[in-house]
Amino acid sequence: MPELPEVEVTRRSFADRIAGARIESVQIGKPLRWPLGCDTTLLLEQHVLGVRRRGKYLLLDLELGVLLVHLGMSGSITFSPNPGPAGKHDHFSLNTSHGVLRLHDPRRFGAVVFASDEQSPQAQKLLGRLGVEPLGDEFVLEDFVQALKRRKGPIKQVLLAGDTVVGVGNIYASEALFLAGIRPTTRAARLSRVRIARLHSAICSVLSRAVEKGGSTLRDFSNAQGESGHFQLEAAVYGRAGLPCRVCGSLVRTIRQGQRSTFFCSVCQKP
C-alpha cells in the first residue's frame, strides 16, 4: 500500500498546481471505505487553499473545511487539466478551475472525508491517535527513547502501529531497522539509548531518501503526474528474501509479523 513517502511524493506532485483552484463540480463513483460525510453542494465554489499531509493522509484545506484523502491499499491520485471521462476504478473526482483531481482505487479501501476543521470529531477519529511526524522537527530523539521504553512489543510492530511515530510502514520499517542494525523481533523496551538513536537517524534517512527517489512502485503506484517511484531498486532487504545481503553477503531472511512480511539480515541485524 502507499506509505508515507508515496503520499508525500503525491502531495508534492500536485499541491502547487491545485492551490487557489475553485471547485466547480464533484463526481462520486462506487462507495469507498468511508462516506464523504457531506452533501457535495457544500464543496462547490470553495477554493483549495493548500495541500498538507498528516501521516498517510492528504489534507486539502478549503475555505470552509478540509478534505481528508487516504489512498488505501491500491489508490493513487491524478491531477490533470484534461483527464477525460472517469474510468471504472475512478471513484472520486474533484473538478476545479485548475484541473481535475481524481482518486483511482481498484480495491476501494481508500476514502475522501469532509470535516469542518482538523479538530472536529470526524477528523480526530482519523488523525487523533497518530504519532509524531518523522520528517518534522517534532520527531525528537529523547521523546522517541522514552516512548519505546514503554513498549513491550517487537520493535517492527511498534513502528507499524503508527502511534509512536507515524508513517513508517512495512517497507520502510524493514529498511530502517536494517540500517540501524536492529533485529525486527527485538522488544522495543530492550533497546538501549544508543540503538534507539541509530534507529531514529535511520528512520529519517530512509524516509527522506524514499521521498527523494519518488517513493516505491511495487505494483502500480504513481504520483499525480503518472510518474513511478524508484526507491525499491535500492532496497537493502525489503523484497530480497533469499538474495545476498548487500553488506555481508549472507542470505536475506523473511518471517511473518502481524500478517506482514518482514525482511532482515540475521548477521547485520542483532537482537
Chain segment 152-208, per-residue pLDDT in tens:
999 999 999 999 999 999 999 999 999 999 999 999 999 999 999 999 999 999 999
Q: Is 52 helix (H, G, I), strand (E, B) or coil?
A: strand
- Asked if CATH classification 3.40.1010.10 holds for the domain at 4-127, the reply, yes or no, is no
Whether 229 shows a pLDDT value over 80: the answer reads no
Question: Which residue among the candidates 149, 193, 246, 260 is catalytic per the annotation?
Answer: 260
| pLDDT tens track for 233-250 | 889 999 999 999 999 999
Please give the Cα distance from 72 to 68 (Å, whole number). 12
Name the pLDDT band for 216 (thresholds 50, 70, 90).
confident
Higher pLDDT among residues 125 and 225, named by residue = 125
Q: What is the pLDDT of residues 93-123, one digit of tens each?
A: 999 999 999 999 999 999 999 999 999 999 9
Q: Are 172 and 1 in contact (CB under 8 A)?
A: no
% of the chain residues with pLDDT over 90: 86
Classify domain 141-264 by CATH number: 1.10.8.50
Compute how many other C-beta atoms are within 10 angstroms of the C-beta atom of residue 85: 7
- pLDDT per residue over 116-144, tens digit each? 999 999 999 999 999 999 999 999 999 99
CA torsion sign, 84 to 103 to 12 to 96?
Answer: positive
Active site residue 118: no
pTM: 0.92
pLDDT bin (cut points 50, 70, 90) of residue 51 is very high
Give yes or no: 56 in active site.
yes
**Cα–Cα distances in Å, from 108 out to 66, 74, 101?**
21, 8, 17
Q: Identify the active-site residue in 17, 56, 151, 156.
A: 56
What confidence score (pLDDT) does residue 49 get?
Answer: 98
Q: Report the alpha-carbon angle 228-229-233, nearest 5.
A: 125
Active-site entry in 3, 6, 8, 175:
3
pLDDT at 215: 84
Provide the pLDDT for residue 220: 60
Known catalytic residue: 270? Answer: no
> Could you confirm whether 3 is annotated as catalytic?
yes
CATH 1.10.8.50 region(s) of the chain?
141-264
Q: Where in the chain is the domain with CATH 3.20.190.10?
A: 4-127
Q: What is the mean pLDDT of the chain?
A: 94
